Amino acid sequence: MHMNYKVLFIYISLLCSITLQEMYDNAESGFGYDKYIELDRNQIYTGGIGIYEGSTYIQGNGAVLDLENQNGIWIYSDQNSEASLDIQYLSIINGAYEGISYSGDATGNIINCNFIDNDYGIKVYDTCTLNITNCNFIDNASLGFGIVGDPASNSVLSNVDLSYSNFWNNGDDILENCPG
């Protein structure tokens, strides 16, 4: 019997997948962050996480986070609990909703990441401060990147610096004041 090695590799990878929640729960502090997570580029990680307190850093090292058609990574901060996420070199794929969402007063830096085949690549709500540099937004069904807000109601929009990024084959690429 001849076995297709590519299929075998994918099958073994799925059997041995680690959830991002496990990595987050087991993360220790480091390099000035409350949670410092370093991923292995040869490992497929699954599932999203919710961050509502402290500073978190994810060093993706080229790894893939497969959201398996579920929720992505969300970060929420308010005056009672500060939260931030800095992330580098991670591909976030197959999200039913946002690959990443920031809301409240959350802050973060997203550098050299890919957002592929999510509903929204990144969606930002409220009054977040976010820097996005050198990222790719590919095949996101509704939107590559969006800021939710309504300037007619005098709501303060988030402060986002989006630079050196690419958009291919998204429902829409970039929208400000998009529907929440």
70 — pLDDT class (breaks 50, 70, 90) = very high
pTM (predicted TM-score): 0.88
pLDDT at 13 over 80: no
**Mean pLDDT across 16-20:** 87
> In the prediction, which pLDDT does 8 show?
47
What is the per-residue burial (b if ≥16 Cβ within 10 Å, else e) of 103-136?
bbbbbbbbbbbbbbbbbbbbbbbbbbbbebeebb
174 — pLDDT class (breaks 50, 70, 90) = confident
180 — pLDDT class (breaks 50, 70, 90) = low
Beta strands in the chain (DSSP E): 18-19, 28-30, 33-38, 44-46, 50-51, 54-66, 73-77, 83-93, 98-104, 107-111, 114-116, 120-124, 129-133, 136-138, 143-148, 159-163, 166-168, 174-178
What whole-number distance in Å separates Cα of residue 5 and Cα of residue 38?
Answer: 28
Please give the CATH topology (third level) of the domain spanning 19-178. Answer: Pectate Lyase C-like (2.160.20)
pLDDT at 2 over 60: no
pLDDT at 172 over 50: yes
Q: Residue length, the chain? A: 180
Of the ranges 4-13, 37-46, 63-72, 154-163, which one carries the lowest mean pLDDT score? Answer: 4-13
pLDDT at 48 over 60: yes
In tens, the pLDDT along 142-171 reads 999 999 876 666 566 899 999 999 999 999
